[in-house]
Amino acid sequence: MTGSPVSLALIAAVADNGVIGDGGCMPWRLSSDLRRFKALTMGRPIVMGRRTFDSIGKPLAGRTNIVVTRNSGFRAEGVIVAADLTEALDAARRAARNESAAEVFVVGGGEIYRQAMASADRLHITHVHARPAGDVTFPPIDAAVWERVSAEDIPAGDKDSAPTTYAVYRRRGVPSR
């Protein structure tokens, strides 16, 4: 089926030292960021690695959830299982067209961000101003490839463990949609 192109965005919270996870969890508490994540991704297909799915423990409501795994026996209620990233992105784009969504999101974790970065059109990055210990990082954001098109500084609220800057990056040389 053809139609208007579905763009691909990565969405991540990334500490100033590049850390995004530690021991299967995120090493911070950021209530305001979770609200933004929900608002941005609601109604749009989301793609995640099996370890990120395990850390969430259930599909995220209101979104088509696609989980990438090499384990052909993997099953989980309420998710589409994909054998590799290409299959996952194809399924996400199909779902987006069926749901009239203009964008699909890759929501982590580190392994999947690394593979998806080359095909992404846009990055939604919450820069977390902290330097936590961690075992998973986000790939470097190369300024020659990515243009920062917006940035908003957000002080830490009552339920946030650090101040953040929410920034959107667009791949250079690609017209905005």
Ligand X SMILES: NC(=O)c1ccc[n+]([C@@H]2O[C@H](COP(=O)([O-])OP(=O)(O)OC[C@H]3O[C@@H](n4cnc5c(N)ncnc54)[C@H](OP(=O)(O)O)[C@@H]3O)[C@@H](O)[C@H]2O)c1
Question: Is residue 124 part of the contact set for ligand X (CB under 6 A)?
Answer: no
**Helix%, strand%, coil% for the chain, nearest 5:** 25, 35, 45
Minimum separation from the CB atom of position 3 to ligand X (A) = 27
Residue 109 binds ligand X, judged by CB under 6 A: yes
- Tokens 């020659």 correspond to 144
Taking the C-alpha atoms of residue 170 and residue 173, their distance in angstroms, rounded to an integer, is: 9
Q: Report the C-alpha gap between 121 and 6 in whole angstroms.
A: 10
Cβ neighbourhood burial of 118 (10 Å; 0-12, 13-18, 19+): exposed
Q: Judged by CB under 6 A, does residue 24 bind ligand X?
A: yes
| Positions 29 through 58 that interact with ligand X (CB under 6 A) | 48-52, 55
Rounded Cα distance between 32 and 40, Å, is 13
Q: Check residue 112 for interaction with ligand X (CB under 6 A).
A: yes
Q: How far is the CB of 44 from ligand X (least distance, A)?
A: 16
5 counts as binding ligand X under rule CB under 6 A: no
Shortest separation between residue 4's beta carbon and ligand X, angstroms? 27
Q: Closest separation between CB of residue 52 and ligand X, Å?
A: 3
- Tokens in use for 15? 């500490």
Tell which one of 7, 110, 162, 167 touches ligand X (CB under 6 A). Answer: 110
Binding residues for ligand X, per CB under 6 A? 12-13, 20-21, 24-26, 48-52, 55, 68-71, 83-85, 107-112, 115, 136
